[in-house]
Chains A and B, each alone.
Chain A
């Protein structure tokens, strides 16, 4: 029984000793690969930083050239993020924009028609008053 106990104890120690060694070996095998990856990681980070800076420059340029557009985009992004896309307000805005667009398109036609009517009326009025004077 005592021998058996000793054996099991030694087995446990071996197992316990084996596990950290295995881990160390695994970590050791990973360490060089991380070292190899470090320059790649650094270059990826610098690339990401550069592209972020380019994006910021583009944004600054756009804000400089078209400030109203930039404000509209920011407002729209806030509206979408706030969850306003599927609300009745969106429908009302779209419907209102459509109505204004139709009116703007029809306005020159209506104006031309009205101007023509007024011109005809004034010419007819002048003709009548001239006839009366004669």
Chain B
């Protein structure tokens, strides 16, 4: 493989990875905004839910 070919391949790969990374980060941001809105609207229920999830994870971890 020629070095210029290698360079173009690496550049293509970088562009593709960058595009995918941007897409994933946009999706994560949307999800984060939705979660933040939900927590701000129902703080008590959200915190209780998070506490319950932590408790359940601990119980499952103790069993296994």
Contact = CB atoms under 8 A, between A and B. Distances in A.
A60 interface: yes
Contacts of A83: 58-59, 62
Contact of A77 (B10, B51, B56): B51
A80 B58 CA distance: 7
Contacts of A129: 4
Nearest to B54: A78
The interface size bin for chain A is: 20 to 34
A83 B45 CA distance: 22
Contacts of B40: 63-64, 67
A87 interface: yes
Given A71-B47, A75-B51, A82 B35 contact: no
A87 B36 contact: no
Given A74-B51, A121-B6, A89 B39 contact: no
A29 interface: no
A124 B4 CA distance: 9
Nearest to B6: A121
A89 B61 contact: yes
A101 interface: no
A122 B4 CA distance: 5
Given A63-B39, A63-B47, A82 B3 contact: no
Given A74-B50, A122-B3, 17 more contacts: A60-B43, A63-B39, A67-B40, A71-B46, A77-B54, A78-B51, A80-B58, A82-B55, A82-B56, A82-B58, A83-B59, A83-B62, A85-B58, A88-B61, A118-B7, A125-B3, A125-B7
20 contacts: A63-B40, A63-B46, A67-B46, A68-B32, A72-B50, A74-B46, A77-B54, A78-B52, A78-B54, A78-B57, A79-B54, A81-B55, A82-B54, A82-B58, A83-B62, A90-B61, A118-B6, A121-B7, A125-B7, A129-B4
